[in-house]
Amino acid sequence: MAFEQDIERVFAEAGAIKERVAELGDKITRDYAGREITMIGLLTGAVTFMADLARQIRLPVYYEFMSVSSYGQSSVSSGQITVKKDVGRDVAGRHIILVDDIADTGLTLNYTATKLAGRKPASLKICAFLDKPARRETALSVDYTGFTAPDEFLVGYGLDYAQKYRNLPYVGILKKSVYNKP
């Protein structure tokens, strides 16, 4: 790909991602045996992970999406949460798994989980492809984690910088020279 020269090094290879997503799907299938799940993906970063994960779950899975942002075009969270798109169905009484690409500061996931919990789901769990606890600014419990991530700027497999790099089949560490431009 034309922009792979922007990657300092690979954090998670495509094969390791596929294996870990299958493991998460198996765990969720066991944890929710006999129940239906509503997965709520946070757009746009969670789409790749959520689609792969849903195919690994051997239970009925409903899809919903929300668009919630605290980054905009920046490489640093603004702390200001904006809901651009809410779910399209009532989640009361449903088993919800909130899916995101990365649990970073925790502000967006905490805000969204609190908002959804107020709608009285039967259960609510958080699933993040990457968990970056070093950046946490609020208490957040991630129930299902793909990988614990270093405190680096990561792109690929849904994660982006300025809407680029999402389509990389692996997760790479973005060179500082790409996002630290004057």
159 in a structural domain: no
30 in a structural domain: yes
CATH assignment at residue 34: 3.40.50.2020
- Tens of pLDDT, residue by residue over 92-137, are 999 999 999 999 999 999 999 999 999 999 999 999 999 999 999 9
What is the share, in percent, of the chain residues with pLDDT greater than 70? 93
Phi/psi for 131 (5° steps) reads -120, 125
Q: Is residue 1 predicted with pLDDT exceeding 70?
A: no
Model confidence, pTM:
0.92
**Residues acting as catalytic residues:** 104
∠ Cα 44 50 55 (to 5°): 150
174 in a structural domain: no
97 in a structural domain: yes
44 in a structural domain: yes
169 in a structural domain: no
Number of domains in the chain: 1
Helix residue spans in the chain (DSSP H): 14-31, 47-54, 107-117, 176-179
Cβ contact 166:159 at 8 Å: yes
Residue 80: C-alpha distances to residues 69, 70, 105, 115 (Å)? 8, 5, 12, 15
**What was the pLDDT predicted at 76?**
56
| Residue that the structure tokens 């630290």 belong to | 180
Residues of the domain holding 42 = 14-151
